[in-house]
Structure 1
């Protein structure tokens, strides 16, 4: 990678590092990906083992996804939402992760218009009323009271995360989930205090982050998964996103931003890159929905070519203009790319798909800097969220092939 030779080396990827009040054993984070292991909305032994394996494999921190802050904040009914009933299982999970030497982070969020209203049994909230292609129903325009309730729910969920033994929380401010949908000029056509100007559209995201910070102070680290670009016409662009990031920095509400892109509602493959697994997605649904996905799925699941560090070209602008610690996500699968991120001034790297096929990847990279992920970027893992997120290319119990 030519950029690496021209850039001075950065901090040691594998040395301990601080994230707010938290000390991590290295700078590698398991990014949040819905695990599909909470069939009744509560922690299972399978979910604990999923994160224990990644922790034992050497990451500095693993992120539990997706911990909805309320019942209507789930993307669908099988997801975990933070409430007292969930605490015993979560304590077992954080204990297992800590025993394996890693820190544990809970991703907090409200799905907003991305929620499947039919599955949840409650209308999906959005900035306004529009048709949700995921739930096949129209969203309900959130009232000011709804937004105040959701903001308080984030603070309550953060407190529960502390009680459950988590070392950090990650606030979901991306992918057109609720807070992100308010940032989008395409989705947010409101004329009240939450719409119109960028400052108004950012009111919900900033308010949620401040509420979480005020609740937990410096007891745990507070990060955010933050969308740089929606990847859809008329959506949030990098210029506006960068200004919102500056405001979050000025507010002092987060210890770091994990930079992401794309819209789960309108263009999910903009984040994932690589093959679009339309047939696999179709196979996860019964007819006639299966046939419809096969015929029209490529309109929603678009093909974007994969390359290492594919979000770096956008993330560089954030690194150049912010003092806030930044976590680089997207196409992080080998040591050379991780070292490039360090050299470019990023504080941490995050990966997800690479650890599905090989939870021991970080340990292998530690032992041999030439080691790399066996992930082929086919994205066939994406439809497995309905039956337990996994790499379908690597057989259970069989060691992953080594490149």
Structure 2
């Protein structure tokens, strides 16, 4: 316990402990700007004892959102984000902004901007063909990540996390299943990894040494023909050699193809079918069982994959997936992971870390039902928390 809850360095910053609140879209930005509800969400988690909380999802462009109600990093967002980071700092925690572009996971109909994909794809979300960015447009996206990082610094964030996972834009470029380009951004693994490396370099040049720079990297996509663990280990090794990141958070799965690889436990198919918008709902009812596969829950369920990265890399690594109690945190440390990241357990109990510090035998109340997943369309929450009230995207509380 002393090791987990002792201060730890993350690049140029020091966290009060080794536990990070993982990025989970909060559903509290109906106007694509910070709200009091979003501030309260992160203030509560910070007061609950985490070393750092991660704000998700801060898109680098308006078309890079999975829905137009998400924040995108524009100057108008800075004041609200500053209020949020001030509130988190007042509770003794650090704040990180997750930056990225949703790429093929973006909802073009909602954003009123085309979704982007490395190669020609059809979007089941907007029922439209996706746009394949040119070399010039890719360069603009790289610059957009650097600009977003500078805005995060203005807003008082201590760190930025670049989203290289879940088949969002960068992750889709890494995937041989989705990236069939024949130019310098596709084909070989080195070409497919170019976008990740150049974005990391641009962000590092913009804020490195002042803010911690981390990335959430897919270990595998969980779909035949997609990114594999050996390929991802090589990408991670290149990122380490580049010296652009202070840590890697290891994840898995695809929001586009196989989301449950990240969310082990029950598959909330009925709940998703009830809340998805129009065309997506019809499609989901046809393919929901195949799309939402079910993986049995166990503690540290991504550890076996993550061990391959720990063996090959010396840089700090953050273990995600099934971290709910002190025993699992200690296991992560014994395996050589520098930090752990928690998501669903903190939706259920934002004060879980304080409870563990008071009683090392404390176990999370999360039952891994994953019914929190569909709540992103109203207000992301644990459905078993009696004080969690959904909010529609127009900002009106529902009864």
Fold shared by both chains (TM-score > 0.5): yes
Q: Distance in 1 between matches of 2:99 and 2:240?
A: 19
Q: Distance in 2 between matches of 1:187 and 1:264?
A: 13
Q: Distance in 1 between matches of 2:262 and 2:83?
A: 32
Q: Does the 8 Å CA contact 1:11/1:343 hold for their aligned counterparts?
A: no
Residue 166 (structure 2) aligns with? 175
Aligned ranges for residues 115-264 of structure 1 at < 5 Å? 115-264=106-255
Residue 296 (structure 1) aligns with? 287
Residue 330 (structure 1) aligns with? 321
Q: Which runs of 5+ in 2 are unaligned?
A: 390-399
The alpha carbon displacement at 1:282 in A equals 1.3
The alpha carbon displacement at 1:132 in A equals 2.1
Per-residue Cα deviation, 1:336-377 (whole angstroms, up to 9, x for no partner)? 001000000000000110000100000001111111110000
TM-score when normalising by structure 2 = 0.95
Runs of 4+ displaced beyond 6 Å: none
Q: Distance in 1 between matches of 2:188 and 2:283?
A: 38
Q: Which runs of 5+ in 1 are unaligned?
A: 1-9, 399-403
Aligned length: 389
Aligned ranges for residues 36-55 of structure 1 at < 5 Å? 36-55=27-46
Per-residue Cα deviation, 1:30-59 (whole angstroms, up to 9, x for no partner)? 000000000110000000000000000000
Q: Distance in 1 between matches of 2:144 and 2:3?
A: 38
Q: Does the 8 Å CA contact 1:132/1:265 hold for their aligned counterparts?
A: no
1:380 to 371, 374, 385: 371
CA RMSD of aligned residues (A): 1.4
Q: Does the 8 Å CA contact 1:134/1:265 hold for their aligned counterparts?
A: no
Q: Distance in 2 between matches of 1:212 and 1:292?
A: 38
Q: Does the 8 Å CA contact 2:125/2:280 hold for their aligned counterparts?
A: no
Are 1:313 and 2:304 counterparts? yes
Q: Say which is worse superposed, 131-140 or 291-300, in terms of deviation.
A: 291-300
Q: Distance in 2 between matches of 1:287 and 1:128?
A: 26
Q: Say which is worse superposed, 274-283 or 59-68, in terms of deviation.
A: 274-283
Q: Does the 8 Å CA contact 1:133/1:265 hold for their aligned counterparts?
A: no
TM-score when normalising by structure 1 = 0.94
Q: Does the 8 Å CA contact 1:249/1:324 hold for their aligned counterparts?
A: yes
Q: Distance in 1 between matches of 2:292 and 2:248?
A: 26
Q: Does the 8 Å CA contact 2:381/2:388 hold for their aligned counterparts?
A: no
